[in-house]
Structure 1
Amino acid sequence: MRCEVRIGGVRYIGLAMLMAFSLCSVAQLSQPGRFEKDQKRRFGDFHIVSLEDQGLALLRDKEKYEMRERLWEFIQLDTALAESWTKDLTVEQKYRFVGHDYRDKNLYYLFRAGDTDLGDLKIIKLDLQAKQVLEFDYKPELAIQLTHFNIVGKQILLAGYVTRQPAVLLYNMENNQAKIVPGLLADNTEILDVRANVNNTFNVLLSERQTKAKKRLILKTFDETGALLLDDLIEVESEKNILSGMTSTLVRDELMLVGTWSDGISKQASGIFSVMVDPYSEQKINYFDFGQLTHFFDYMTPKRAAKTKERSDARRKAGKTPEFRTNVLPIRLLETKNGFVFYAEAYYTTASVNNRSGASASPYGYYPYGMYGYGNPYRYGGYPYGGGYPYSPGYPMSSTSTSAEIKMQMACIAVLDGSGQLITDHGLPLAEMRIPSTDQVSDFIYTPTRTTILFNKDNEIHFQVTQSDGVQLINEKKEIQLLQASETIRSSTDAVGSMRYWYKNVLYLYGYQSIKNPEKGNRDVFFINKLRID
């Protein structure tokens, strides 16, 4: 990166050199590693799981069979992107891959037989330190449409719907026994979130609609045996509707709920909300419309952004909800020493889309594990402050049932204090990226002094750094580095592949490319590039 300081068209050296050095030292993006795997057309896509500072896990269907069992290729990479463990997993043909979770240096893959809600379940546990594989088979006694999969202590948590009512099952891997968690089956109730806490308890967040005007958020916390520890009922304003919600995980002492809301019955978001869990007092939900964020409209032209914000301010002052609405994909909630950081992406769809993963979709018609397997959002992470976060990328990943095009608008970060009040925000326009389904395309690294947002488009890494108040310091692009300087990219696709946070100050970029090497010819590869922010 070249740094210059010019004042009035004159380049200054002396004191200005210190200013330039300060700017250049804000953040540097490097690509210290790259992994490639030949991608044969008969092979399936890779499912990727971050193992934090233990590396990455890859899984793909080899489309091969042995004795009526399907072969799945498993690869563990270390943080240098070198292979540390490879193994072919064999799974009966009737099973399909539906989810994953990572906890305490153990990786879990969930498979389900067939397409029915009574399908048998197979859990494959990989002990990444001992390099051992264990299998558990569970036949549900109830027909449950699964929406969430998690590990809590020694229990496997399976959540979803039983005859259109929310339900959570706990399956004990040691004694092969299962039980249903009491107190959740209810009509007119939707699951917004099921999430494990850092102390082997878990939260279930529900949205209940008693009548058109009477709605509530319900937060229940259980221990790993399913015993109820906390039950909080939070009234929702009659004219507002909660579209999505996620809970914090007790990295901090407080439990915070954050998500998106709409005006009336609209499925497009009007803003974000936050509320502190406190069963001993009546809480008021904090509603923030998008016009209260400084950078949410940065993807618009300056004239349009100013007019949209002006109209939002006028309606808010008049006691009305601003008219601006958009689609929002919540991604993660980071718990920091000073509060919370909520990350989401805004997008526009060109047609009516059956989003099979967002909380705003029908609670009975989606399957939010993700078509590519990157997105089960329910795992524990080990970096409570700084760059780490306790959820894996993607809140839940999705697929659309139409060929509609998704146009990405904005990556948005809302910084909240310990009580859920809005402090500041950051944003990066997503260059109107077009993808075939709602999926996370960007990610970020947050520190108290600077925030970095990144995404990939057309083989260029878009890279923005802002200071704590949201003021932009750096906005640039870098080419994706290949194994050799003489190589070039023949083709790639933004539709499959993306940016994901990994650990500390490191992210990874993955996708599929056709590479031209002037000496060795062309090759088609799945790739992962390691990205480091210094």
Structure 2
Amino acid sequence: MKYLRVLSPLIAFLGCGLPVSAQLEKAAHIEFAVSSSLDENFEVFPLGQQGALVLTRSGMYQGHGEEWRFVKLSEDLKPVWNNSFRLNFRFIPVMAYQNHTHAYWVFAEPDTDRFQFLQVNLETGFQDVHEGKLLSNIDLQQFMVMESKAILAGYHRGRPVVMVHSFFDKTTRVLPDLYEKNSELNGIDLNEKDGLINVMTYSFRKRQCLFEIKTYNYEGRHMKTTTLTDQDYSIISGQIIPLNESDSYLIGNYSIGCTPFSQGLYISQIRDTEPENLEYIEFSELRNFFNYMSPKRKARMIERIGRRKSLGKENRFRYRLLLHNLIETEDEILLVAEVYYPNYRNYNPPSTGINSFYRGSSFRAQDGFRYTHAIVCGFDKNGRYKWDNSFAIKNLVSQDLQEMVQLSRFGEYWVLAYPEEGNIHTEVIKKEKVVVESTKHELQPRARSLFFNESAILAAWYDKYFLAFGRQKPENASPNSQKEVYYLTKLTYQVDPVTGIPLSDTAANSKTSLQKRSTDSTAN
């Protein structure tokens, strides 16, 4: 099952034993008892200032499907409502989606064209189930909902396909002009204000790479196609910031030739179907891109770049980028991306006999993804590049390619955070300035034994708050206890709102009374 896009798995830092100097305070806490007899899986969906939704899935038994139990929590982690749903045993969950008012799940019956949709009202908990028929044996990659229609994208027999399914009349429409060879889905952008569906594709035609945006109206009619092609550059990906019904900005990364390796970033204004003012920004032109390197290595790199420029040579770099969703503030557009590369390890298979063919042989296999650094770039509302910053990521390997760096906003400041072997590394920036250098927050032994869990998750929640959740022993349990609870903890990173600098120990200590007044709730 693919989860809501707001989730970003991280190893959690939390607990009563957290050092004051870390400036990470516990504001609220709740625990759910974990059954010792049932196979239970917990999922948490942060909803910003609306709170959080907790889903508990109990395994199938006696011919019945999974039982799903929902609990809606307030921003103070107080229960608001609860509800349950029994999944038909013939169906399996595939994907989920959440907007401001509802959460949705799509279920498929294997080897058939039958699908189900569960719609949950986030304010009241009211449920509605919709059924329909889609293409059978489709490999779903993306699921979204706009008003009363579900948009589902994936691949059918190796070709991209996007369907629009109406909850009202149960009709399904396959969007035209997409089912092509040598074409890949790059993403789907919904313009709910104007009722438009933008499907971005990446294709190879006549020895040329094309990046296209095909725009459809709410009824699924093809309105226009915008093609971005360049003799020297290839657009890899793009995200849309709409200005009005016909104009928008497109921001993403590009490469030299048809490769997945990025050469830099680009931004373009699109008027109707014509891209204008296409601006390419090489990585070497970003002022802080190489800050993740040691000072000596960075100095050598800058010297090399300058030397090549003086000789009239181009500086070409090849990086893999994982782009986050664009962040739009009152006066800026922020692009956040993590630089990564596949991590490989050498394996020596065990001998299976005296004459084993594999004796003494070894092979390299991919073992997750290694991250080097994250970049943050700011553009003004006129589409002009203004500033950039970077955040070094050390010794971080993830088995799945996923967003690891979290961003929380504090006025004009941003706190960046990522996990590493039970610690959390943070950095505070104000545009191109680093206000607080990278800081590692460690756990005390007592907190580690009671609260630390390798599978815990941390998510940037809203304003200055983070939400940490996962399995642990109860807070007052003995060291030998086998009991478990599923917890959610609301955390805040204390920063001076004027300077962006973490509060001093004295200032933090003056706020401990607030921490003591936060009462823990327990839900069974």
| Shared fold (TM-score, shorter chain, > 0.5) | yes
Give the match for residue 416 of structure 1.
379
1:326–1:346 Cα contact (<8 Å) kept: yes
Deviation at residue 137 of structure 1 after TM alignment = 1.7
AA paired with 2:78?
A
CA distance in 2, matches of 1:226, 1:133: 27
1:339–1:419 Cα contact (<8 Å) kept: no
Deviation at residue 68 of structure 1 after TM alignment = 2.5
AA paired with 2:260?
K
Give the match for residue 95 of structure 2.
99
Structure 1, 280-289 or 414-423: larger mean CA deviation: 280-289
* 1:203 lines up with 2:198 in the alignment: yes
String of CA shifts for 1:200-227, please: whole Å, max 9, x gaps: 4322112232222x33321233332223
2:133–2:172 Cα contact (<8 Å) kept: no
Alignment of 1:22-33 (within 5 A): 30-33=25-28
Q: 1:90 to 1:78 in 2, by over 3 A?
A: same
Alignment of 1:47-446 (within 5 A): 47-65=43-61, 67-114=63-110, 118-141=112-135, 143-199=137-193, 200-212=195-207, 214-235=208-229, 237-248=230-241, 255-279=248-272, 281-315=274-308, 322-351=315-344, 404-446=367-409
What secondary structure sits across from 1:298 in the alignment? helix
Q: 1:31 to 1:291 in 2, by over 3 A?
A: farther
Deviation at residue 170 of structure 1 after TM alignment = 1.0
2:42–2:55 Cα contact (<8 Å) kept: yes
Deviation at residue 123 of structure 1 after TM alignment = 0.9
Q: 1:516 to 1:218 in 2, by over 3 A?
A: same
Compute the RMSD of aligned alpha carbons. Answer: 3.3
Q: 1:320 to 1:91 in 2, by over 3 A?
A: farther
Q: 1:195 to 1:320 in 2, by over 3 A?
A: farther
2:82–2:125 Cα contact (<8 Å) kept: no
String of CA shifts for 1:450-491, please: whole Å, max 9, x gaps: 22212233443322211233333354344579xxx9754357
Structure 1, 318-327 or 142-151: larger mean CA deviation: 318-327
String of CA shifts for 1:90-137, please: whole Å, max 9, x gaps: 1123433222112241111122223x5x55322111112232111112
What secondary structure sits across from 2:290 in the alignment? coil
2:95–2:143 Cα contact (<8 Å) kept: yes
Structure 1, 418-427 or 338-347: larger mean CA deviation: 418-427
What secondary structure sits across from 1:259 in the alignment? strand
TM-score by length of 1: 0.75
Q: 1:249 to 1:492 in 2, by over 3 A?
A: farther
Of the candidates 490, 500, 503, which is equivalent to residue 459 of structure 2? Answer: 500
What secondary structure sits across from 1:268 in the alignment? coil
> How many residue pairs end up in the alignment?
451
CA distance in 2, matches of 1:223, 1:252: 11
CA distance in 2, matches of 1:457, 1:514: 22
AA paired with 1:529?
T
CA distance in 2, matches of 1:441, 1:513: 22
2:175–2:220 Cα contact (<8 Å) kept: yes
TM-score by length of 2: 0.76
CA distance in 2, matches of 1:154, 1:271: 38
Deviation at residue 31 of structure 1 after TM alignment = 3.3
1:493–1:511 Cα contact (<8 Å) kept: yes
Q: 1:430 to 1:189 in 2, by over 3 A?
A: same
Deviation at residue 287 of structure 1 after TM alignment = 2.4
AA paired with 2:263?
S
Q: 1:349 to 1:40 in 2, by over 3 A?
A: farther
Q: 1:325 to 1:37 in 2, by over 3 A?
A: farther
CA distance in 1, matches of 2:392, 2:227: 37
Deviation at residue 438 of structure 1 after TM alignment = 1.2
Give the match for residue 382 of structure 1.
none
Deviation at residue 57 of structure 1 after TM alignment = 1.8
Give the match for residue 507 of structure 2.
none
Q: 1:121 to 1:191 in 2, by over 3 A?
A: same
AA paired with 2:239?
M
AA paired with 1:451?
W
Q: 1:91 to 1:502 in 2, by over 3 A?
A: same
Percent identity among equivalent residues? 21
CA distance in 2, matches of 1:187, 1:314: 44
Q: 1:86 to 1:280 in 2, by over 3 A?
A: closer
Deviation at residue 174 of structure 1 after TM alignment = 1.1
Q: 1:238 to 1:497 in 2, by over 3 A?
A: farther
Q: 1:38 to 1:348 in 2, by over 3 A?
A: farther
1:153–1:224 Cα contact (<8 Å) kept: no
Give the match for residue 527 of structure 1.
487
CA distance in 2, matches of 1:126, 1:136: 11
Q: 1:36 to 1:301 in 2, by over 3 A?
A: farther
Give the match for residue 362 of structure 2.
none
2:234–2:254 Cα contact (<8 Å) kept: yes
Q: 1:278 to 1:312 in 2, by over 3 A?
A: farther
Q: 1:171 to 1:425 in 2, by over 3 A?
A: same
CA distance in 1, matches of 2:244, 2:438: 32
2:368–2:397 Cα contact (<8 Å) kept: yes
CA distance in 2, matches of 1:511, 1:408: 24
Q: 1:47 to 1:327 in 2, by over 3 A?
A: farther
Give the match for residue 489 of structure 1.
449
CA distance in 1, matches of 2:29, 2:311: 54
AA paired with 1:324?
F
CA distance in 1, matches of 2:214, 2:314: 30
CA distance in 2, matches of 1:499, 1:315: 43
String of CA shifts for 1:66-94, please: whole Å, max 9, x gaps: 54312233332221122323333211234
CA distance in 2, matches of 1:83, 1:317: 64
Greater relative contact order (Cα < 8 A, sep 6+): 2
Which of these two proteins has the greater Rg computed from alpha carbons?
2
Deviation at residue 421 of structure 1 after TM alignment = 3.1
CA distance in 1, matches of 2:180, 2:79: 47
Deviation at residue 63 of structure 1 after TM alignment = 1.8
What secondary structure sits across from 1:308 in the alignment? helix
AA paired with 2:187?
D
1:487–1:517 Cα contact (<8 Å) kept: no
Unaligned runs of 5+ in 1: 1-26, 353-401
Deviation at residue 315 of structure 1 after TM alignment = 4.5
